[in-house]
Structure 1
Amino acid sequence: MLFSSAQPFTKTAPEVATLTEVAPSWQLIVWNDEVNTFDWVIETLIEVCGHTYEQAEQCSLFIHYKGKYGVKEGMYEDLEPMCNAILDRGIAATLEELVT
């Protein structure tokens, strides 16, 4: 009887491609100024970013005391229209790439 060197009962796992590249994440930054009221910033964050009143109020306090605050994170394509809408309301905003 001849034996082959191959193991007939050995299972091998199939090769699976793993996605290792992650799309960069961005942050929508709102900047403090001496022009816009708390109420206007809160209303804007609720309408543009979909924040609850409590989230928007907290963000506005951070913006006021820290000078700026990242009010939303996500993909550039999702945040760009929000940034433009905030700018259209007279509030300073920018997009910054998050560095990990």
Structure 2
Amino acid sequence: MAGAATPDLDVVEDAWLAAQPPSSWQTVVWNDPVNLMSYVSRVFRTYFGFDAATAERLMLAVHHEGHAVVARGPREVMEAHTQAMHDFGLWATVRKEPA
């Protein structure tokens, strides 16, 4: 068919991908038998910049519930946060945010 316009599928797919929100991931810190609660709270304050009340709340969630989500965002950033938590000696993982 001469003159029939067909959409460029690559352009359509790129436009669709650009319109999608970025996947949201979580950095989860887990309770461990090694680190003091005061140390975990200090790590949350110094690394993430949480105020004392937020750091304390998250630390208590780790202690009482076994884990806490300390950050949300793109996978690469959450992987960097998880590595930083490992560098501080904390147990942490990255997981996809539940839908």
Q: Deviations over 1:6-44 (max 9, x none)?
A: xxxxxxxxxxx7854111101110000111001110111
- Could you say which residue in structure 1 is the equivalent of 2:86? 87
Partner-residue secondary structure (3-state), 2:68: strand
- Code of the residue aligned with 1:23 in structure 2: it is P
Report the counterpart of residue 65 of structure 2 in structure 1. 66
CA distance in 1, matches of 2:38, 2:24: 29
Structure of larger gyration radius = 1
Q: What's the secondary structure of 1:58's corresponding residue?
A: helix
For 1:68 and 1:88, how far apart are their aligned partners in 2?
A: 18
1:47 aligns to 2:53 (yes or no): no
Runs of 4+ in 1 over 4 A off after TM superposition: none
Q: Can you give the 5+ residue segments of structure 2 that lack an aligned partner in the other structure? A: 1-14
Instruction: Please tell me the residue identity of whatever aligns with 1:70.
Output: V
Q: Which segments of 5 or more consecutive residues in structure 1 lack a partner in the other structure?
A: 1-16
Residues in 2 aligned to 1:41 and 1:90: alpha-carbon distance in whole angstroms: 9
Q: Aligned to 1:85, what secondary structure does the other structure show?
A: helix
Aligned to 2:95: 96
- Greater share of helix residues, 1 or 2? 2
Q: TM-score, normalised by structure 1?
A: 0.76
CA RMSD of aligned residues (A): 1.6
1:10 maps to which residue? none
- In 2: Cα distance, 1:82 partner to 1:44 partner: 12
Sequence identity (%): 31
Aligned to 2:33: 34
AA in 2 matched with 1:72: A
Higher alpha-carbon deviation: 78-87 or 27-36: 78-87
Aligned-residue offset at 1:89: 1.3
- How many residue pairs were aligned? 84
Q: Normalising by structure 2, what TM-score?
A: 0.76
